[in-house]
Amino acid sequence: MKMDSDALWSSEFVESLGRLAETIEKLQSFVVTTHVFPDGDAIGSQVALHEFLLGLGKESVMINGSSTPEKYRFLDPDGEILIMGRTASAPSARIASAMASAQAVIVVDCAFLRRTGPVFRLLEAFQGPIVSVDHHEIRAFEPRVNIALVDHGASACGEMILELIHSMGGKPGPRGIDSLYTALLTDTARFTGPTVDARVFRMAAGLVDGGASPNYIYQQIYESYSLDHYRLFSVGFDSMRILGDRQGAVMTLTRKMFRDHGIKPFEVEFFIDLICSIKGLRLIAVAREMEKHSFAVSLRSRSDVSVGKIAEAFGGGGHRDMAGMSLSGSAEEIEEILATALCENMGIGVIKSGTQPSESGFRLQ
């Protein structure tokens, strides 16, 4: 097995990598899936692995529990990813057939199997081996997982997929190159995150040498927003709750806000990046109402407080500086839960919602 000499992998990682490579070589049919509301690392890792498996002459089907965000659809232009909706009482014939034929399921960029959403029901019924390829610091022990390829220090799950491909003597294909560059770009906050080092830039450079177009990929992901996206951000910003002495922020976006602006909830993951640019904020939360009383929450830390630990307390997961979770309740209840959690972790008191708006529009505690 060929390893990337530029990386320092643990013996446990190397052992798991070897077991996964052997599994891929031995078996013929695979399903590749990831978490609901997929981000660039999730879609990028999934598509790159899928293409690699096909290149080996294997059968591979991609199945997800929610739709691919518009800005990442350039990675799956033919719509190969099958979607099992949350309201589906049973999988479609194509999904059922793929699961029946699969000899193994590979779950990428997912710290908890339940985060696959509707696909989790398929995993519970699946009789073959389940593989987890993941880099999240906060993970659950999953007895159902047969092989866990995990590296908490990896900048993105895509980095691990690239290592897998190289270890098997392969190279990412044309789609895989763009997909893996997308994974690195998005999960490192555009190459600015704490896991970014010279090795990550060398990895990205290798993908560019292989044909990845940084300008094209950047435009697809970060320069594809409409005026309505920013009008929605303005509405959310005006009602944003500021915690303590401008140390934390909670933005809650309701279904009505999304409907009023013709925007889908999974199209605004960049809102939290805009809020993070505000000087002085230590902890930030953005809650998006995906379905009635069902919220996807993104968390960011600009301090020594781990939002991964906060997310873990609510059944979510992630990293010290970046994490996510799902919560159920009304918008008011979700805001109060998040404000309380952030304030407690910053060691500041919580003032109940309902204070008067400040001159700037958002509400100060």
Summarize pLDDT for 212-266 with one digit per residue, the tens.
999 999 999 999 999 999 999 999 999 999 999 899 999 999 999 999 999 999 8
pLDDT of residue 91: 83
Res 128: pLDDT: 97
> Which pLDDT score is estimated for 10?
81
| Residue 50 within any structural domain of the chain | yes
pLDDT above 60 (res 70): yes
Kindly state whether residues 183 and 245 are assigned to the same domain.
Answer: no
pLDDT in the model for residue 218: 98
| Confidence (pLDDT) at 360 | 45
* Residue where one domain finishes, among candidates 192, 221, 250: 221
Q: Which residues does residue 175 pair with via DSSP β-bridges, in sequence order?
A: none
Q: How far apart are CA 182 and CA 216, in angstroms?
A: 11
What's the confidence (pLDDT) of residue 357? 43
Instruction: Look at 93 and 4; give whichever has higher pLDDT.
Output: 93
Are residues 126 and 66 part of one domain?
Answer: yes
What's the CATH number where 44 sits?
Answer: 3.90.1640.10
Sign of CA dihedral 120, 299, 138, 351: negative
The Cα 352–Cα 91 span in angstroms is 43
The rounded distance, in Å, linking the Cα atoms of 172 and 165 is 7
Q: What is the pTM of this model?
A: 0.88
Confidence of residue 3 (pLDDT cuts 50, 70, 90): low
Same structural domain for residues 89 and 172? yes
Mean pLDDT of 24-36: 97
The chain-wide mean pLDDT, for the chain, equals 91
pLDDT tier for residue 193 given thresholds of 50, 70 and 90: confident
**pLDDT beyond 70 at 72:** yes
Q: What is the pLDDT of residues 119-144, one digit of tens each?
A: 999 999 999 999 999 998 766 678 88
pLDDT level of residue 5 (50, 70, 90 thresholds) = very low
Task: Find the helix packing angle between 157-167 and 198-209, rounded to 10°.
Answer: 60
In a domain, 61, yes or no: yes
Pair (308, 193) in one structural domain: no
pLDDT for residue 336 is more than 50? yes
Between CA 208 and CA 206 the distance in angstroms is 5
Q: In this predicted structure, what is the pLDDT of residue 27?
A: 98
Residue 241's CATH number: 3.10.310.30
Higher-pLDDT residue of 105 and 360 is: 105
Question: What are 174's two structure tokens?
Answer: 């044309």
Flag whether 284 is in a domain: yes
Q: Which residues pair with 243 in a beta bridge?
A: 248
- Domain co-membership, 131 together with 244: no
Q: Which of 221, 253, 277 is the last residue of a domain?
A: 221
What is the predicted pLDDT for the residue at 146?
Answer: 94
Q: Which residue has the higher pLDDT, 345 or 143?
A: 345
What's the number of domains the chain is made of? 2
User: Is the domain of 96 the same as that of 39?
Assistant: yes
Closest to 303 measured CA to CA, from 322, 275, 326, 324: 322
Q: Check pLDDT > 90 for residue 16.
A: yes
Q: Which domain covers residue 253, as residue numbers?
A: 227-364
Q: For residue 3, is it within any domain?
A: no
pLDDT at 358: 44
pLDDT at 152 over 80: yes
Are residues 278 and 348 both part of a single domain?
yes
pLDDT category at 355 given cuts 50, 70, 90 is very low
Does 7 score more than 80 pLDDT?
Answer: no
- Contact in structure between 254 and 331 (CB atoms under 8 Å): yes
Same domain membership, residue 248 and residue 201? no
Asked whether residue 207 falls in the same domain as residue 346, the answer is no
